[in-house]
């Protein structure tokens, strides 16, 4: 039986997705899951859902929750990091403090002051996790989902622990591109390269035909351009489509958020289209909606097929 430790298992919805993906992967039906979070505020919900899921589908998997990182790591074959240090209160500071000095962020978790603040919180915890792995589960691989991905992975590289940084930006953008060009995603051959949150689709083909002329043509039409202005402008000037939403991408380049005129021109779409503080506001809405409620109480226990995540 393989053991998977999920560190930061209080991320309820994402943890549920990983559980579903792993037990639907051939050969992993008997996985032992150790779900760790520093408090038991949310992990019992995930544990209860997992037990219902395993029972309903006759799966021999096992699950337990713990507040001890050491207990979760002991004997693990894989460790999945999904934690956020400081929660919404820290995220609010990441947004509010730069905003006082005129730095407007949509997401604020990878570059700029928000990304720097988050990196300072996360890197010591990630390195300590890797160091504990060397004694409690030597040889285990760390799958890191924690942002800011690039600096966290740079730090993990100094520990000697095998690790992979994972994100779903490539997969979700491929869904978007497939819709833009009207071609099934499974039929598109692509090459995407870069660093996390700044990757470029260097090649897009359907049955040997270059899809870029059609994609560029689409973005000359107002209804397409309005949906993704920043990515449209970047493709127009640099030649390739990017992995991140317009709101996210707007923070990484010096052209789109430097003054109100730029914000009005390129970041006027709601939420992740460029809205100021979009990610923080979304997190606050979700927290308020489910405060005191079991988010997974009514979740179906059927096996829906694996998601787009690479974690399984």
Instruction: Return the active site residues.
Output: 168, 252
What is the distance between the alpha carbons of residues 159 and 131, in angstroms, rounded to a whole number?
A: 7
Query: Could you tell me if 286 and 38 are in contact, meaning their C-beta atoms sit under 8 angstroms apart?
Result: no
What is the distance between the alpha carbons of residues 305 and 173, in angstroms, rounded to a whole number?
A: 20
Half-sphere exposure of 194 (CA within 13 A, CB side): 18
First-to-last alpha carbon distance for the chain, in angstroms, is 15
Strands 188-195, 198-206: parallel, antiparallel or unpaired by DSSP?
A: antiparallel
What is the distance between the alpha carbons of residues 30 and 61, in angstroms, rounded to a whole number?
A: 4
């Amino acid at each position: 039986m393989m053991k998977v430790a999920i560190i930061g298992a209080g991320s309820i919805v994402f943890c549920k997705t990983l559980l579903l993906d792993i037990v639907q992967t051939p050969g992993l039906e008997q996985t032992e899951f150790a779900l760790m979070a520093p408090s038991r505020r949310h992990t019992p919900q995930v544990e209860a859902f997992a037990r219902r899921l395993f029972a309903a589908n006759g799966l021999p998997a096992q699950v337990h929750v713990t507040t001890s990182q050491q207990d979760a790591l002991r004997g693990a074959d894989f460790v999945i990091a999904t934690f956020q240090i400081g929660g919404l209160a820290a995220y609010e500071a990441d947004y509010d403090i730069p905003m006082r000095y005129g730095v407007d962020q949509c997401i604020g978790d990878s570059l700029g002051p928000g990304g720097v603040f988050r990196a300072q919180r996360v890197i010591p915890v990630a390195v300590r996790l890797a160091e504990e792995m060397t004694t409690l589960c030597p040889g285990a691989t760390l799958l890191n989902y924690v942002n800011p991905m690039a600096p966290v992975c740079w730090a993990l590289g100094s520990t000697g622990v095998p690790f992979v940084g994972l994100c779903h930006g490539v997969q979700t953008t491929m869904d978007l591109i497939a819709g833009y060009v009207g071609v099934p995603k499974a039929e598109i051959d692509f090459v995407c390269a870069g660093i996390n949150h700044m990757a470029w689709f260097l090649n897009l083909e359907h049955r040997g035909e270059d899809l870029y002329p059609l994609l560029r043509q689409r973005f000359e039409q107002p209804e397409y351009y309005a949906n993704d202005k920043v990515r449209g402008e970047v493709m127009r000037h640099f030649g390739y489509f990017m992995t991140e939403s317009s709101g996210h991408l707007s923070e990484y380049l010096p052209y789109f958020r430097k003054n109100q005129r730029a914000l009005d021109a390129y970041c006027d779409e709601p939420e992740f289209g460029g809205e100021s503080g979009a990610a923080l506001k979304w997190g606050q809405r979700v927290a308020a909606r489910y405060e005191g409620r079991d988010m997974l109480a009514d979740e179906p226990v059927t096996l829906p097929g694996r998601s787009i995540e690479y974690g399984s």
